[in-house]
Amino acid sequence: DKGTTVEAGAQGGSYGTFDADARVGLSLGRTGHRLSGGGGRSDGGTLNSDWSKGQLYYQGDFDSRRMTLAWQFGFSKKSYGANTFYSAAYPDQYERNERYLLSVKGETQGKFRFTPQVYWNRTYDNFQLVRGQKFGENFHQADVYGVKAGGYINWWGGKTALGAELRQEGILSTNLGRDLAPAQYVDARHGHGTQYTRQDDRTSVSYNLEHNILLSRWTISAGLLANMTTSVDHRFRFYPGVDIAYRPATGWKLYLSYNKGFRLPSFTELYYKSPTHEGNKGLKPEHNRSVQLGVQYAASGFRGTLRGFYHRGNQMIDWVMYTSDDTYHSAAFDLDNMGVQAQGRVSFPELFRKDTWLRTLSVGYTYIHQKRHDDTPVFKSNYAMEYLRHKLVATLNHRVWSRLSANWSVRWHDRMGSYVRYSGTYVDPATGYLRGESTGRLVSYSPYATLDLKLQWTAETYQVFVQGTNITNRKYYDLGNVRQPGAWVMAGARVKF
């Protein structure tokens, strides 16, 4: 049956890592169905970084002369050693979560196309500050659901789209939110008698309008989003955006864009409280204004992009320590990020108009400079101020012999910021739990480079590969005080039926 596809793959390797998945696609009349699933496990490449996971995902669609309809359902489950995710003071953290998603979307045919959608997502989360112990344990149930109604029309003046969305976010928790009355307590999933004692929710209403104009040399797109969120206030705020592109000659494009956006603080950032962290109920939404200016060039065998960007961030949220023996506090700062990005890709067969053993070469470089608009002393930032100042990635793909190819990838990172040095671990005599021994000393991140290699045999119905990550066994730290694993080797195969 030409309407049926089946694909499966599996891989395994270092640190007891194994992963497998399968996909099935089926066409029946005007309907299409796609089902995929898989799972895996690993002992982890560093202390307490083991994981296991599984997922199942289904997509369906229906196509008629008057409308198209698409729907999807998904489920995933993952449990993992969280190492020092929240703080190196507790090196034996653990987390597990389950996620469900469901959505239905339609689109009518005709001059004006109506695009309604409904969606729902649920997440169950269980976090243990000390693996296998009740101390510092949290349970959460988060729901996000909503409805969208939109439409668009193509006419002589361009393409005009408008829409509206009603979105609800809610959480039941043992730690996050406002206190519930005892009569409102709900049994926590996998809680073994533990109950959700806190709750919070918020409703957002959004309206959007967008218009696109496509001319021979110019493309102009302008839009406006109006948003109201009940957790902030009941006022609408406006977020405009505009993108302009000009094509002066064949292969060339100049573009300029301006966009204003926002992000609501998460329930974790608002409420989380533990021996190592303190949330902040007074956090306001982040606001970001961004400007981009760039140029693109494309010719036979070559594509290149050069762009500059400036992001003005207000009330940008971060977890920070103010002193060496402080807990992490959820706080907000005004941060500007500005920089440049250059990317290029060469396809040698296209460039020389013949088959060559060299296939593609891609190089990308990004530079970012950050400016903070206050002088409040901060001992340690958790992420917002710990950014990659320099990022260089180069990838080369070439044929080795017959159907065998090699893909080389070099990465060089230079991260700003620092981490607190921990000298080791000890057993806390008061609790009997494993604790990290802090020196209270900050260590700046060092630049590092890694080399990856993937060898792959590609046939019409199958692929076989061996890949090595960090094959030079480079030891480094990145975002936190966890030493990253050295060389990691995996091998696997993929088959199409």
The answer as to whether 31 is a domain residue is: no
The answer as to whether 297 is a domain residue is: no
Q: Please state, in angstroms and rounded to a whole number, the distance separating the CA atoms of residues 228 and 236.
A: 5
**Half-sphere exposure (Cβ direction) of 203: Cα atoms closer than 13 Å:** 6
Rounded to the nearest angstrom, the gap between the alpha carbon of residue 458 and the centroid of all alpha carbons in its chain is 30
The answer as to whether 122 is a domain residue is: yes
pTM of the model: 0.93
The answer as to whether 329 is a domain residue is: no
The answer as to whether 216 is a domain residue is: yes
Query: And the tokens for 358?
Result: 């060299």
Question: For the CA atoms of 386, 388, 390, 391, what is the dihedral angle to 10 degrees?
Answer: 160
SS3 38: strand
Domain that holds residue 249: 84-93+108-260+273-281
Rounded to the nearest angstrom, the gap between the alpha carbon of residue 177 and the centroid of all alpha carbons in its chain is 25
Instruction: Convert the pLDDT of each residue in 166-209 to its tens digit.
Output: 999 999 999 999 999 999 999 999 899 999 999 999 999 999 99
Q: How many domains does one find in the chain?
A: 1
Which among 46, 80, 85, 48 is positioned nearest to 328, based on CA atoms? 85
**H helical segments located in 49-93:** none
User: In this structure, are residues 164 and 149 in contact, taking their beta carbons and an 8 Å threshold?
Assistant: yes
List the Cα angle 282/286/288 in 5-degree steps. Answer: 160
Element counts in the chain: helices (H) and strands (E): 2, 29
Q: Please state, in angstroms and rounded to a whole number, the distance separating the CA atoms of residues 178 and 394.
A: 49
* Per-residue pLDDT of the chain in tens (497 residues, 90 and over written 9): 458 999 999 999 999 999 999 999 999 999 999 999 999 999 999 889 999 999 999 999 999 989 999 999 999 999 999 876 777 888 899 999 999 999 999 999 999 999 999 999 999 999 999 999 998 999 999 999 999 999 999 999 999 999 999 999 999 999 999 999 999 999 999 899 999 999 999 999 999 999 999 999 999 999 999 999 999 998 999 999 999 999 999 999 999 999 999 999 999 999 999 988 999 999 999 999 999 999 999 999 999 999 999 999 999 999 999 998 899 999 999 999 999 999 999 999 999 999 999 999 999 999 999 999 998 899 999 889 999 999 999 999 999 999 999 999 999 999 999 988 888 889 999 888 989 888 889 999 999 999 999 999 999 999 999 999 999 999 998 877 778 899 999 999 999 99
The answer as to whether 178 is a domain residue is: yes
Give the pLDDT of residue 2: 57
The answer as to whether 136 is a domain residue is: yes
User: In this structure, are residues 335 and 314 in contact, taking their beta carbons and an 8 Å threshold?
Assistant: no
User: In this structure, are residues 298 and 251 in contact, taking their beta carbons and an 8 Å threshold?
Assistant: yes
Instruction: Convert the pLDDT of each residue in 250-306 to its tens digit.
Output: 999 999 999 999 999 999 999 999 988 999 999 999 999 999 999 999 999 999 999
Longest dimension (CA), the chain: 77
The answer as to whether 127 is a domain residue is: yes
